[in-house]
C-alpha cells in the first residue's frame, strides 16, 4: 500500500510505502491501459489527416498499428480524437446551429418548422442547389430520399 503526502516545509510531494507487496499479479502487457493507449502527438496528426480524407475509424486504427507495431491504442481513442476534431471545427455552436450555418454557407435551400410555443425545431428540410435547379427545370419528376429511422 502506498500513500502520498505534500510536505509543508519543502512544498514537495512524497510517498510512503507501507507494504511493498502487490495485491495482484503484474500484467505482462499494458494492453487496454488508458495511459499506454493514449495517442501521441504524431498519432493525433495522422488521425486528423485520415479523418479529413474520410477514412473509417477502424482503418485509421489499422494504419496507426502498421506505422507503430508496439502501439497500444484502441478504437475508443480514435473515436475520441475524431470527436475532439469535430468539436474544434464546430467551435461554440451546437450541432444543429453548425448544420444550419453550413447550409447557409453552401447556399442550400432549407426550411425548418418549430414548435409554436418554443424555439425547438420539429422538422428540417434541405436541398442541394443543383437539385433545386433540376426540380425547376423538370417539375413533373420528383425523387425524395427520406431515410429517417430506416433501420428501426
110 and 133 part of one domain: yes
pLDDT of residue 53: 94
CA–CA distance, 78 with 3 (Å, rounded to integer): 34
Tell whether 144 is covered by a domain.
no
How does strand 13-17 pair with strand 109-114?
A: unpaired
pLDDT of residue 110: 94
Report the number of distinct structural domains present in the chain.
2
CA–CA distance, 41 with 43 (Å, rounded to integer): 5
pLDDT of residue 11: 83
| pTM for the full predicted model | 0.58
State which residues form the domain around 110. Answer: 95-137
pLDDT of residue 129: 93
101 and 126 part of one domain: yes
Q: DSSP E strands: which ranges in the chain?
A: 2-6, 13-17, 109-114, 121-127
Tell whether 150 is covered by a domain.
no
83 and 99 part of one domain: no
DSSP label of 150 = T
CA–CA distance, 65 with 74 (Å, rounded to integer): 9
The mean pLDDT values, 10 residues at a time, for the chain of 152 residues are 80 79 70 72 93 94 90 89 92 90 94 84 90 88 72 65
Amino acid at each position: 500500500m502506498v500513500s502520498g503526502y505534500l510536505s509543508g516545509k519543502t512544498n514537495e510531494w512524497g510517498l510512503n510505502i507501507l507494504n511493498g507487496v502487490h495485491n495482484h499479479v503484474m500484467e505482462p502487457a499494458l494492453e487496454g491501459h488508458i495511459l499506454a493507449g493514449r495517442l501521441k502527438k504524431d498519432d493525433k496528426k495522422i488521425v486528423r489527416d485520415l479523418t479529413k480524407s474520410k477514412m473509417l475509424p477502424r482503418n485509421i486504427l489499422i494504419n496507426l498499428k502498421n506505422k507503430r507495431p508496439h502501439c497500444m491504442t484502441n478504437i475508443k481513442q480514435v473515436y475520441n480524437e475524431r470527436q475532439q476534431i469535430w468539436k474544434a471545427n464546430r467551435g461554440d455552436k451546437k450541432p444543429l446551429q453548425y448544420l444550419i450555418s453550413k447550409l447557409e454557407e453552401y447556399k442550400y435551400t432549407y426550411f425548418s418548422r418549430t414548435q409554436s410555443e418554443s424555439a425547438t425545431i420539429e422538422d428540417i428540410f434541405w436541398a442541394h442547389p443543383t437539385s433545386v435547379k433540376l426540380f425547376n427545370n423538370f417539375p413533373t419528376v420528383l425523387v425524395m430520399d427520406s431515410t429517417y429511422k430506416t433501420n428501426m
